[in-house]
Structure 1
């Protein structure tokens, strides 16, 4: 029977991906065996491949390089957070997913799947969708024991991890794959690996389960199957008991019949002496029947004993298996409850820390506002211009007046424009969140390097206004 394959794709966890895929010492020392079980004696069977495109960079460095590429191509910082926009006409809130430039796919494999097959699959994906494989890792050391006490019950989980660059480096935008594209990607995987394609999600309506959730669901399913098999065996044993009871009744009836016929033997003999010729025939039939009746209890007893022994052994095996999986399910439930309790405690602590941080920030803002009020008008105008621009979600560049305020500060209040920019960036930080501060920082540096661009932009705007101004004839 041909094995089935599937590909599950999600955003790459840059902080853990390389440690997990390369089996670093730190990762193996702190691995959570309840979620991922790795046999270290099988680690040498794993294989890895790295693309030349990644060069000597790790994933974090490559991610940062993509951010710089996006800024260069689009003029804007890479948007990694989910955004919301309200339709002013309908009032409907539209959500825009953040950019995920690196994504990781887990591919179900066979024991003999080769790196060449996975590279071929990656090439097909690049030709069809544009996405580029940076790393491929084949894992043959993961799995689980059906019975922890039995080493022969090991069930391997053969799979491969593929790290994809999901960005178009010509446009600075990410590739968009819809449900049909992902379905086609599954077809390409089955073709490249010589495996059957898994049943489409649109047909099964099933959600993807992470590895530990899948194992728990499988264990619960096996427990239910064991219970069903146990019920079937009990039903079969009940039927056999009824059959045995029916045989006992039949034996009893034949014994009673034999006794009646034996009691009438004297009368039959007299009837034979009187010329009745049926006695000999009846006597022969009676003897044969006695032999059959004598053998029935022994045969039935042997059958019942054999069936009872087999039934007891099967019930004992299934009961032991059911008890094991029930205990495993209870263990997983206890683990989940512990994690849930920790999560709630952590959430409460985090809320308290955030409240304390917000109070501190408000205190700092009040102090800074009072402090800034003592600055000159040039200082205040520059800081207000940066804050106003950074908080305006629609603004992409400084207005001319905002750029002029910043330039006046750099020219008048600072001997060195670069040092002045650093001071202005520092003083605006407490009033802005991380993304607003980064947005303001970029424009401040643009004024330092190229204030003439804002002048040219203002002149073009004024010329455009003059051209569009209505003319009156005398």
Structure 2
């Protein structure tokens, strides 16, 4: 049978487990051969072109930027509470889990192509996109830790899904019926039987450690029930022996009374004692078995307790290892964030200082320009007004006239005067505006007659369009 268990992807542990990193292999449960290193080459992995060379963390960060761009809000990854203002009812809203990991039970001959076919169906039906698939053939356990021939493999695959809609920036919404349909699709794609639905059985999926604890509890409960059953059997046999003794005694008394013969009484006694001796032997054997039950149960309980404690200790060590690693990574990220904030603050101060300098320079230039002649001021204002007006492509005739008057009366050399006028207007214009004004100033230098002709044509056009009245 096959099944698919989907949960939020723990990025750090997922990559280490699926890629079989050295740090991860150094912390596995080697005593039970949870992972056989000699079988690691039989594993297979696939990464989508959508992820490319990015790590899972980098891909996760890219999703966060996508969500911010599409929705205008940061991705909410933490659980939060919403309070109804009318009723006061508190509703918990789960955080967004953009990356999810599914564990699929497989057969020894399951292929990567079958798994890809399964993920393609999921994408077409639900919009979830597989970015990684890891087929593991090296995991399992030994029923007898000291005997490697008792190896029991656990064939399965890990699928990392992108659970986000990249068009809307929102996560895909799947209900229980959708997850049940995913189980059907997996069974069909992998050519396996489907496991019983938890909607029918009511059972919940257990993680590996929880499953071990539950199994140990079941074994303890079975041992207790077995001991109680043996005790009841012993009690019943003891009652049967006691009942048989009473019958033998009654028959002896009756035989002695009826026959009055000591010989017959003796024979009856011998016959009864023979049957009694057999029952007594069985009774003694049963007593020994019952007496040994508490010791056997105690040994089983002790063995299971030791195994349970060892498992818990190892899992705690592994958890501490990854917690330390995550804390170290978090400190690095916090340091980078602090450095970026300091840089941002320094840049803001520099920009503020620059803006103050520019404002001071503009004020000084404005005061400086007030000392110019009226002709020069008109030319400067004409260039600035033209450059700021996005609708104008050329100087108006009054603007061109103001420029030409400045070039003719205030400058001995028209081209040199144009250069000076261009420099005087630069502080008040952007780069694009400055280029626009400079081009028109040069056009006035070389071809002021064009503006005259243009104005003449405009006046003639106005005369032709003027309405005429008959007397």
Say which SS state the counterpart of residue 196 (structure 1) adopts. coil
1:79 match: 75
Match of 1:227 in 2: 224
**Alpha-carbon deviations, 1:240-284, whole Å to 9, x = none?**
22222222333333344444455x139xxxxxxxxxxxxxxxx9x
Matched, 1:198 2:177: no
Quick check: 1:124 aligned with 2:121? yes
Report the alpha carbon displacement of residue 302 of structure 1 after superposing the two structures with TM. 4.3
Match of 2:304 in 1: 325
| C-alpha displacement of 1:212 | 1.1
CA distance in 2, matches of 1:56, 1:343: 24
**Distance (whole Å) between structure 1 residues aligned to residue 60 and residue 321 of structure 2:** 32
CA distance in 2, matches of 1:376, 1:14: 44
Answer whether contact 2:77 2:95 (CA < 8 A) is retained. yes
State the match for 1:177 in structure 2: 174
| 1:64-463 alignment, distance < 5 Å | 64-67=61-64, 69-70=66-67, 74=70, 76=72, 79-82=75-78, 90=86, 97-111=94-108, 113-144=110-141, 148=145, 156-193=153-190, 194-200=192-198, 204=202, 206=204, 208-261=205-258, 264-265=260-261, 292-308=271-287, 311=290, 316-329=295-308, 378=356
Between the aligned partners of 2:28 and 2:318, the Cα distance in structure 1 is 16
Q: Offset at 1:201?
A: 5.0
Alpha-carbon shift at residue 59 of structure 1 (Å): 2.5
TM-score normalised per structure 2: 0.57
* Aligned twin of 2:452: none
TM-score by length of 1: 0.57
Deviation at 1:232, TM superposition (A): 1.7
Aligned CA distance change for structure 1 residues 331 and 141 (closer, same or farther; 3 Å): same
Asked if the contact 1:35–1:212 (Cα under 8 Å) also holds between the matched residues in 2, the reply is no
Instruction: Specify every segment of 5 or more residues in structure 2 that has no aligned partner in the other structure, as ranges.
Output: 360-429, 433-471
1:106 and 1:199 mapped to 2: Cα distance?
16
Over 3 Å counting, the alpha-carbon distance change for 1:40 and 1:7 in structure 2 is: same
CA distance in 1, matches of 2:321, 2:55: 32
Q: Measure the CA separation in 2 of the matches of 1:230 and 1:335.
A: 32
Query: Over residues 342-370 of structure 1, what are the superposed CA-to-partner deviations in whole Å (9 max), with x where a residue is unaligned?
Result: 9999xxx99xx9xxx9xx99xx9xx99xx
Deviation of residue 155 (structure 1)? 5.5
Say if 1:200 and 1:75 are closer, same or farther in 2 by CA, change over 3 A.
closer
- Which consecutive residues of structure 1, in runs of 5 or more, have no partner in the other structure? 267-282, 382-447, 451-474
Deviation digits for residues 373-406 of structure 1, max 9, x if unmatched? x958859x9xxxxxxxxxxxxxxxxxxxxxxxxx
CA RMSD, aligned part only?
A: 5.1
SS at the partner of 1:177?
coil
Q: Tell me if the contact between 1:37 and 1:144 (Cα under 8 Å) persists in the aligned partners.
A: yes
In structure 1, C-alpha distance between the alignment counterparts of 2:38 and 2:153, rounded to whole Å: 13
Greater Rg by CA: 2
